[in-house]
A and B are shown apart, each in its own frame.
Chain A
Amino acid sequence: MRTQLTRFAAAGLAVAMLAACGSDDKKAASTTAAPTTAAAAPTTTAAATPTTAGGDTATTAGATEGSGGAAPAGDLKTGLTIAVIPKAINNAYFDAAFVGAQKACEELQATCEQVGPTEATGAAQTEFINTEIQKGVDAIVISAADADSVTPSLQQAKAAGIAVVTYDADVNDTSARLAMIKPTTPDLIATSQVKWISDAIGPEGGEIAILSAAATAENQNAWIDLMKKDLAANYPKLKLVDTVYGDDDAATSADKAAALLQAHPDLKGIISPTTVGVAATAKYISGSEYKGKVQVTGLGLPSEMKSYLKDGTVKTVGLWDPGMLGYLGIYAAVNAVSGNDLSAGFAADGKTYTPDADGIVIVGPPAEFTADNVDQYAF
């Protein structure tokens, strides 16, 4: 009987404790984070390629709104709550994006918080989208872990009057969101990486392979298709022999890199359009007998790629400032909630951004990181 009493009491206590705690336990990241990526943001000037030598866009705190001539005149609402949902938490790239988002929220006097699952799957993300719908947030800024399976819940968010903006990775059903903040044109992302590997390998060319993220990742798949077209059209000496998937897991990516070299002894270069993949591949090559013989490039964070740029394993990698994605996502969302028509363009940070026919906003060209300039970047 004691046993049963203990069980009952303990379980009841547990439930009561769980219920009592957390009422004021706002885990919302408040809008006070210092903009660390400000000093390192690549410039958004026209021509893409030469290394943007530490170009400082003077991101003044408290950027003026509506300074561009074409910006809509509507006042922006303050005091909004916005949920930022990355593909998965515990990811430095998305954390950097969120820093940008927080900066925007501070400027716009909105509250934003980052919530997301631990695994980057559509099903897991949906749970969080539903929670935010329940909480009645004003807007959701989301990087879709799966281009299709989050659409139903985003449609429900839209039906509930929540403004939905996507960043970094889009959904296939463009009616589910008001705008998509794309870091740079997919074309530029693809052609830049092909150019980097071609430059690294040299004029004699050779076999190359791609080590991607998940086989179902919309953004990577789009870039891979464009890379294939670019290779066919412009690089007769380069031959793409294989595409493998590292699932954005470091150990899996390293194993796949090793396997690529087993299967293709004449491989000259590997393109990895994902930060986890390129770091793992570079690590593997730099510690193997292929260092210097097999080139590596892709989309990489300067902080992670620094040692491989310096030891010569990698000649060039590139990326963009993830912070701008979050920053513009928030601005687009707030504009939408305030009733402004996004297709007319919206202003942020002294510039005007106008979505194209599909609602896509391009931030600017990618930045290149080499051994010479990598130290200038803080992300």
Chain B
Amino acid sequence: MTTVAPVATPPPARPASVLAGRATLLRRRELPVGIALLVVLVGTSISNHRFLSSQGRTDLMLAAAITGMVAIGETFVLLMRKVDLSVGSTLGLAAYAAGTAIKDGGDGQLLKAFVVGIAVGLCVGLFNGLLIALLDLPALVVTLGTLYVVAGIQAKIVGGERITADHLPADFISFGVDRFLGVPKLMWIVIAIGIVASLYLRHAHSGRDLYAVGSNPPAAALVGIPVRTRTIVAYLVSGGCAGAAGVLFVARLGGVDANAGGGYELAVIAACVVGGVNIFGGSGTVVGALLGAMLLRTIGFSLSALSIPEFWQQAVNGALLLVAISADRVVTIRRDRAERTRHR
């Protein structure tokens, strides 16, 4: 917890030459993740032709979409050297709220669902952000507390009730599985938000401030970055993304119960870490986080597609997660060492 993370070199907005652009691409943090993803996809589909069939791709993308959505928001927080553990519970509560809002109400309520879900997420995010930014409380403690409180509230409100598919509007259910140009609509939403977030982090001043704060918080404050405001915004984004993911969750699964969303936080953090987002802040991208989410879900599915026995799957999953984390770290160390020697 005391090592200083290297400040990420943001890629040049306009490469001096095509060659320089390509070299930067090769050195990007996300490259190992992307390669790993390709390897797993190709390798598994060679062994099992159904893996990348249209249904197989759909299943994969649907599963990755929800994790990815939360990972986008979590990236904002991780970049600032903070963490948000409450995203899983927020997802569940938002899912239930959105489901309740559109239940038995007929078609055409898609927007309403998103508004309600994101609003719930923003509330939780605001709560977290205010406590952490204004009172300077440690993020781990606060979001752990919020995790419990929101989960308990959700379970208490929902009880044994379930929102089931026959109470949800038909167009909402079909939105959960429909495809557009071969890619599930849910995934398009995640991609769209991901692009917006990515551009914001790269090109907006306030976006790049997040990297600065994560690299060296006291320095960032001294330079005049409004750290408190940025923190609150980051948690709002994290909460909002979790809320939106909750809506995606209801759409995909066609129902919510009291335990929805439990356990997502670890999967999301793992996705971010694997995707190159430094847990101590200062570097990483939304693209990396999304690739990480995709990779973890792909590994999960491919274990089944390769007919690895059920009882081995979790162990293999854990081992691969470790490999992914180690690989990312090794690559980063090598790259930093190379850069340091280059600049000498």
Direct contact of A and B (CB under 8 A): yes
Interface residues of A (CB under 8 A from B): 89-92, 94-95, 118, 215, 242-245, 249-251, 254-256, 258-263, 265, 279-280, 283, 287-290, 303-304, 306-308, 310
Contact indicator A283/B254 (Cβ below 8 Å): yes
Q: Which 3 A-B pairs have the closest CB atoms?
A: A259-B304, A90-B258, A95-B160
Contact indicator A287/B305 (Cβ below 8 Å): no
- Chain A residues, CB < 8 A from B305: 259, 262-263
Chain B 243-272, CB-CB to A under 8 Å as 1, else 0, gives: 000000100111101111000000000000
Cβ contacts A to B, 11 pairs, < 8 Å: A91-B160, A251-B253, A255-B300, A255-B301, A258-B63, A283-B253, A287-B174, A290-B55, A304-B164, A306-B166, A307-B164
Contact indicator B159/A90 (Cβ below 8 Å): yes
Number of chain B interface residues as a range: 35 or more
Interface residues of B (CB under 8 A from A): 48, 50-51, 54-56, 58-59, 63, 155, 158-162, 164-166, 173-174, 176-177, 249, 252-255, 257-260, 300-301, 304-307, 310-311
Q: How far is the CA of A95 from the CA of B162 in the complex (A)?
A: 11
Contact indicator A89/B255 (Cβ below 8 Å): no
User: What residue in chain A is nearest B58 (Cβ atoms)?
Assistant: A288
Residue from the list A215, A250, A255, A260 in contact with B255, Cβ < 8 A:
A250
Q: How far is the CA of A255 from the CA of B306 in the complex (A)?
A: 15
Name the prevailing secondary structure of the B interface residues.
Answer: helix
Contact indicator B257/A250 (Cβ below 8 Å): yes
Contact indicator B260/A258 (Cβ below 8 Å): no
Say how far B146's CB is from chain A's closest CB, in angstroms.
17
Asked if A287 meets B257 with Cβ closer than 8 Å, knowing A262-B51, A262-B56, A307-B164, the reply is: no
Q: How far is the CA of A279 from the CA of B300 in the complex (A)?
A: 22
Contact indicator B48/A263 (Cβ below 8 Å): yes
- Chain B residues, CB < 8 A from A304: 162, 164, 255
Q: 8 additional contacts, CB 8 Å, given A90-B158, A243-B310?
A: A89-B160, A118-B259, A262-B56, A262-B305, A263-B304, A265-B50, A288-B59, A310-B166
User: What residue in chain B is nearest A275 (Cβ atoms)?
Assistant: B162
Asked if A307 meets B166 with Cβ closer than 8 Å, knowing A95-B160, A258-B301, the reply is: yes
Asked if A259 meets B301 with Cβ closer than 8 Å, knowing A94-B160, A283-B165, A288-B177, the reply is: yes
- Chain B residues, CB < 8 A from A260: 304
- Chain B residues, CB < 8 A from A279: 164, 255
Asked if A262 meets B164 with Cβ closer than 8 Å, knowing A118-B155, A283-B255, the reply is: no
Contact indicator A262/B48 (Cβ below 8 Å): yes
Contact indicator A90/B301 (Cβ below 8 Å): no
Say how far B289's CB is from chain A's closest CB, in angstroms.
20
Say how far A243's CB is from chain B's closest CB, in angstroms.
7
Contact indicator A244/B300 (Cβ below 8 Å): no
- Chain A residues, CB < 8 A from B310: 242-245
Q: How far is the CA of A255 from the CA of B310 in the complex (A)?
A: 13
- Chain B residues, CB < 8 A from A290: 55
Residue from the list B158, B159, B253, B307 in contact with A280, Cβ < 8 A:
B253
Contact indicator A287/B254 (Cβ below 8 Å): yes
Say how far A305's CB is from chain B's closest CB, in angstroms.
9
- Chain B residues, CB < 8 A from A310: 166
Say how far B64's CB is from chain A's closest CB, in angstroms.
11
Contact indicator A261/B55 (Cβ below 8 Å): yes
Q: How far is the CA of A243 from the CA of B309 in the complex (A)?
A: 10
Contact indicator B257/A90 (Cβ below 8 Å): yes
Contact indicator A263/B307 (Cβ below 8 Å): yes
Contact indicator A255/B63 (Cβ below 8 Å): yes
- Chain A residues, CB < 8 A from B311: 215
Asked if A287 meets B176 with Cβ closer than 8 Å, knowing A243-B310, A304-B164, the reply is: yes
Contact indicator A288/B165 (Cβ below 8 Å): no
Q: How far is the CA of A91 from the CA of B158 in the complex (A)?
A: 10
Q: How far is the CA of A249 from the CA of B256 in the complex (A)?
A: 11
Q: How far is the CA of A289 from the CA of B307 in the complex (A)?
A: 21
User: What residue in chain A is nearest B49 (Cβ atoms)?
Assistant: A265
- Chain B residues, CB < 8 A from A258: 59, 63, 301
Q: How far is the CA of A262 from the CA of B260 in the complex (A)?
A: 25
Say how far B190's CB is from chain A's closest CB, in angstroms.
16
Contact indicator A289/B255 (Cβ below 8 Å): no
- Chain A residues, CB < 8 A from B166: 306-307, 310
- Chain B residues, CB < 8 A from A261: 50, 55
Contact indicator A95/B159 (Cβ below 8 Å): yes
Say how far B103's CB is from chain A's closest CB, in angstroms.
13
User: What residue in chain B is nearest A96 (Cβ atoms)?
Assistant: B160
Say how far B149's CB is from chain A's closest CB, in angstroms.
14
User: What residue in chain A is nearest B300 (Cβ atoms)?
Assistant: A255
Q: How far is the CA of A256 from the CA of B255 in the complex (A)?
A: 17
Asked if A92 meets B176 with Cβ closer than 8 Å, knowing A263-B305, A263-B307, the reply is: no
Contact indicator A254/B58 (Cβ below 8 Å): no
Residue from the list A249, A262, A287 in contact with B259, Cβ < 8 A:
A249
Say how far A215's CB is from chain B's closest CB, in angstroms.
8
- Chain A residues, CB < 8 A from B51: 262
Residue from the list B155, B177, B260, B304 in contact with A250, Cβ < 8 A:
B260
Task: Report which residue of A242, A256, A283 has the largest number of chain B beta carbons within 10 angstroms of its beta carbon.
Answer: A283
- Chain A residues, CB < 8 A from B306: 263
Q: How far is the CA of A363 from the CA of B41 in the complex (A)?
A: 50
- Chain B residues, CB < 8 A from A303: 164
Q: How far is the CA of A283 from the CA of B155 in the complex (A)?
A: 23
Task: Report which residue of A118, A243, A262 has the largest number of chain B beta carbons within 10 angstroms of its beta carbon.
Answer: A262
Q: How far is the CA of A24 from the CA of B257 in the complex (A)?
A: 30
